Amino acid sequence: MAWAHRLGLLLALLLPMVSASTPGTVVRLNKAALSYVSEIGKAPLQRALQVTVPHFLDWSGEVLQPTRIRILNVHVPRLHLKFIAGFGVRLLAAANFTFKVFRAAEPLELTLPVELLADTRVTQSSIRTPVVSISTCSSFSGHANEFDGSNSTPHALLVLLQKHIKAVLSNKLCLSISNLVQGVNVHLGTLIGLNPVGPESQIRYSMVSVPTVTSDYISLEVNAVLFLLGKPIVLPTDATHFVLPRHVGTEGSMATVGLSQHLFDSALLLLQKSGALNLDITGQLVARQFPEPMPVVLKVRLGATPVAMLHTNNATLRLQPFVEVLAAASNSAFQSLFSLDVVVNLSLQLSVSKVKLQGTTSVLGDVQLTVASSNVGFIDTDRVRALMGTVFEKPLLDHLNALLAMGIALPGVVSLQYVAPEIFVYEGYVVISSELFYQS
């Protein structure tokens, strides 16, 4: 089914499945993607056109002789795909066939040029996956010639052979293309499923509506649902309909992927609900209550959901952890000393690795803190701030960046990778412009 994978590239980038109706992601495949599919699609199309030719009944002699004919080679020098606005994709191909005719007197090799034209409609299935169907298909055969150019075969026989071969190809080539498309649909159907985000969390995509096709691109509105322990992550407020502006990202790229604020909010809520952002930090504390340095544990808990802010050319995160500072008592048990309400502002740098969106962070400005409670009397916030700078910030960043490096799967198909991606941050959404690479 490798050929189905390759020709499925056009649509499979945009798959997966979900239950919500508001798109949080828009995926556009541009003209450059069609050019790429045209190039890598030649080999699978050549294999698909290797049809079986039934025996030719040779009446040229005194006795009727069934003559075997076999296709030796199919070469597709040209495959062109173009968008048909409001419909789908048109396929134009030129194929050169080489046949061997196993005549009793002398084997014969013939060449025959064929032009193929097929219009495919792209729609949405009942399970919210793309479906490709052949609307119209036709083949046009040229004039058959002897492979060696000798023209030694009787003209009458050559005419009959050509008529037989053309009739076979006329019946079978479009059927082969239809079977190729059905293989693509089977492949697209296998993409329904969950992509892991973490040990207990997944993401799943689905199409929200039928694709929009213009003369320049095909666009799919896609919704992403994140799951934690099998349950969907639902934001407290409904997302607004995300519309990706026409001219964003890099002009001429194969794919343009728009990610809305809603997707980032859902991912951060998943991290908060899963407890993945919580951590315990060990360090040393010196305060007026303790004349000697003593080991402490900082229990960092995210009760509030982190907030992502997307502004033009600038992405930031805000964390508001509750930090409890504990110290070992004489009986080896830990005693709560004091607790802090903390606000950390972070710069967010986004990147794409193969099929995943990843991120790294760094602290912006000073960590803000207020004392929430104390069991040891007055707390010198200047000393605590120094503790947070030396003990708190680096472990927090290391922990957060390790989580963000795990990444979240973008809409994709098996063996397809984003190549040379560029990321643009706009007001309320992010755009990825990328080339594509299919690894067979």
Can you give the CATH number for the domain in which 279 is found?
Answer: 3.15.20.10
Q: Which residues of the chain have pLDDT under 70?
A: 1-23, 58-64, 148-153, 188-193, 238, 284-294, 330-332
Range of the domain at 406: 233-438
Query: Do the domain assignments include residue 11?
Result: no
Total domains, the chain: 2
The type of residue at 258 is G
Residue 19 lies in a domain: no
Let me know whether 141 and 36 are in one domain.
yes
Same domain as 172, residue 76:
yes
Domain identity same for 51 and 126: yes
Assess if residue 10 is contained within a domain: no
User: Of 160, 190, 220, at which residue does a domain stop?
Assistant: 190
8 Cβ contact partners less than 8 Å away, ≥ 6 residues apart? 183, 184, 187, 188, 413
One domain, residues 252 and 312: yes
Q: Are residues 55 and 139 in the same domain?
A: yes
Domain boundary among 190, 219, 245: 190
The residue out of 137, 162, 190 marking a domain boundary is 190
Q: 299, 335 in Cβ contact below 8 A? A: no
In a domain, 104, yes or no: yes
- Nearest 5°: phi and psi at 18? -165, 170
Q: What is the pLDDT of residue 190?
A: 60
Q: Is residue 25 part of a domain?
A: no
The pTM assigned to this predicted structure is: 0.85
291 belongs to a structural domain: yes
Whether residue 238 sits in one domain with residue 164:
no
- Say if residue 158 is in the same domain as residue 241: no
Where in 59-87 does DSSP place strands (E)? Answer: 65-84
Q: Which of 350, 351, 270, 349 has the alpha carbon at shortest distance from 306?
A: 270
CA–chain centroid gap for 387, Å, is 43
Instruction: Please report whether residue 124 resides in a domain.
Output: yes
Statement to judge: residues 314 and 418 lie in one domain: yes
342 belongs to a structural domain: yes
Examine the domain organization and report whether 184 and 317 are in the same domain. no
Nearest to 286 by CA among 274, 278, 294: 294
Q: What's the confidence (pLDDT) of residue 161? A: 87
- H-helix or E-strand containing 19? none
Question: Are residues 240 and 376 both part of a single domain?
Answer: yes
Residues 373, 259, single domain; the answer is: yes
Q: What is the CATH number of the domain that holds 84?
A: 3.15.10.10
204-238 CB burial, b ≥16 within 10 A, e <16: bbbbbeebebeeebbbbbbbbbbbbeeeebeeeee
Q: Own/partner pairs for 129-132, CB < 8 Å, 24+ apart?
A: 129/15, 129/17, 129/188, 129/189, 129/191, 129/192, 129/206, 129/207, 130/11, 130/12, 130/14, 130/15, 130/188, 130/207, 130/211, 130/220, 131/185, 131/188, 132/11, 132/88, 132/181, 132/184, 132/185, 132/188
Residues 287 and 151 in one domain: no
